[in-house]
Amino acid sequence: VGIHRLPPPPLSAHNALRVKAFGPRALRLSSLSLVAMTCVNMPPGMINQTPLLESQPLSEMLGKRVLLKMEALQQSGSFKDRGMAYMCSQLQKQGVSRLISSSGGNAGLAAATMGRKLGMAVRVVVPTTTKPLMLERIRAQQAEVRVHGANWNEADGLARDMVAKEETAAYVPPYEDPLLWEGHSSIIDELAAAGVKPDAVVASVGGGGLYC
């Protein structure tokens, strides 16, 4: 029987509040029951521990000390390496050898980058709106690229169809999966390890993958 990993069903309103209040590490991936929070065990050698630098212009503008976590220094250029490193390594432990991802660009690049480092075959399905430069960067990570559909929803539909037909293949979403959230949360682990206790954490949110 092939391994066809699709995203988990939506959280109930009660569990969604748990995630919002405590983060995804407060949930068991199997039963979604509340558990103690611990640092995520990231696979070694996959991501960079990025520096935390003060922004003088922003600090002066806001009258508060503003620190920037330099996630652009990850190999693919974004924080998404964290979630993809964790998710892909966990899938590999489950016997998955092929990853199929849908993306507008950055998540697919992260999946391709982490998959290559793990020695896994990666296929990324992107819509026609994805820029040629991004296609080149994904292919440079030895991933297969399929351009399909006018938007991400159409590309995602094809990716899911491919997973359903291929044994030992797993679907890798761009943002919506507890394994991705778990990997992304290593950003906060690094802050805690450095003794940093911010009054607030500000993040730009598109699909919501960093909302952990």
Q: What angle do CA 46, 145, 119 make, to 5 degrees?
A: 35
**Token code pair at residue 22:** 């405590």
Q: Tokens 């896994």 appear where?
A: 120
0.85 exceeded by pTM: no
Per-residue pLDDT of the chain (212 residues; tens, 9 = 90+): 344 455 444 443 333 433 443 344 444 333 333 334 578 889 999 999 999 999 999 999 999 999 999 999 999 998 999 999 999 999 999 999 999 999 999 999 999 999 999 999 999 999 999 999 999 999 999 999 999 999 999 999 999 999 999 888 999 999 889 999 999 999 999 999 999 999 998 887 776 666 65
Residue 157's region, left for phi above 0, alpha for psi from -120 to 50, else beta, is: alpha
Within 10 A of 198 (CB to CB), how many other CB atoms are there? 12
**Token code pair at residue 171:** 């679907």
Euclidean distance between CA atoms 180 and 168, whole angstroms: 20
**Token code pair at residue 89:** 């390594």
Widest CA span of the chain, in angstroms?
Answer: 59
**Token code pair at residue 169:** 């293949």
Query: Running DSSP on this structure, what letter comes out for residue 27?
Result: B
Nearby residues of 205 by Cβ (< 8 Å), 6 or more positions away = 211
